[in-house]
Structure 1
Amino acid sequence: MYHLTALVTLLAIAFYLFTCINVSRSRTKTGVKVPAMSGHPDFERAFRIQMNTLEWMPIVLPSLWLFAIYISDAVAAGIGALWIAGRIVYFIGYSKAAAKRGPGFLIQGIAAIALWVGAIGAVVLRVV
């Protein structure tokens, strides 16, 4: 069973939902009306945090599950939790200033690459 990976998946989705709510709150706070996608730096940063999270999810979630299936549920969940932690650091930094997004991006990027490399390596080893 993959209980830990399932939990991390649900936490990743919860974090994404949080970023969606944050964009809505930012619209209200900054006065950026729908359908505008720009107009205030605070809103634009909130929106980019949400979109960047969404852009990474199709890379991370399949890799997370394939890693869990082919290697280890616990290790996949640990790396997935690190990815979420990186997204949180990214959120905190980028919310303050665009220049402060780097550390969180690095953490989540390393976690995502580890999941993908592990998954592809394990799959290829079984195919060959």
Structure 2
Amino acid sequence: MYHFTALVTLLAIAFYFFTCINVSRSRTKTGIKVPAMSGHPDFERAFRIQMNTLEWMPIFLPALWLFAVYIGDAAAAGLGVVWIIGRVVYFIGYSKAAAKRGPGFAIQGIAAIALWAGAIGAVVLRLV
């Protein structure tokens, strides 16, 4: 069973849901009306945090699950937690200033690459 990976998946989705709520709150706070996508730097940063998280989900989630299946549940979940921590660091930094998004981006990027590389390595090893 993949209980730890399932829990990390649910936490990642919960974090993404949080970023959606944050965009809505930012719209209210800054007065940016739907369907506008720009107009205030605070809103634009909140929106980019949400969109960047969404952009990484199709990279992260399949790699997470394939890593769990081919390598192990606990190891996948551990790297998944690192990815979520990276997204939180990204959120905090980018919320303050675009220039502060780098450390969180690096953390989550390294975790995602580790999951993908581990999964593809394990799959290829089983093919040969």
| TM-score between the two structures when normalised by the length of structure 2 | 0.99
Tell me, yes or no, if structure 1 residue 40 matches structure 2 residue 40.
Answer: yes
**How far did residue 77 of structure 1 move?**
0.1
Aligned twin of 2:101: 101
Unaligned 5+ runs, structure 1: none
Q: Which amino acid aligns with 1:62?
A: P
**Aligned pairs for 1:18-97 within 5 A:** 18-97=18-97
- Using the TM superposition, give the Cα deviation of residue 127 of structure 1 relative to its aligned residue in structure 2, in angstroms: 1.1
Coordinate RMSD, CA, aligned = 0.3
> Hey, what's the Cα distance between the residues in 1 that align with 2:40 and 2:127?
51
Q: Distance in 1 between matches of 2:123 and 2:36?
A: 43
Identity of aligned residues (%): 88
CA displacement at 1:119 relative to structure 2: 0.3
Question: Which runs of 5 or more structure 2 residues have no equivalent in the other structure?
Answer: none
Establish whether residue 110 from structure 1 lines up as the match of residue 110 from structure 2.
yes
Q: Secondary structure at the match of 1:12?
A: helix
Taking structure 1 as the reference length, the TM-score comes to 0.99
For residues 125 and 35 of structure 1, the distance between their equivalents in structure 2, rounded to whole angstroms, comes to 48
2:125 is matched with which residue? 125
1:15 corresponding residue in structure 2: 15
Runs of 4 or more, structure 1, over 2 Å off, are none
Instruction: Name the count of aligned residue pairs.
Output: 128
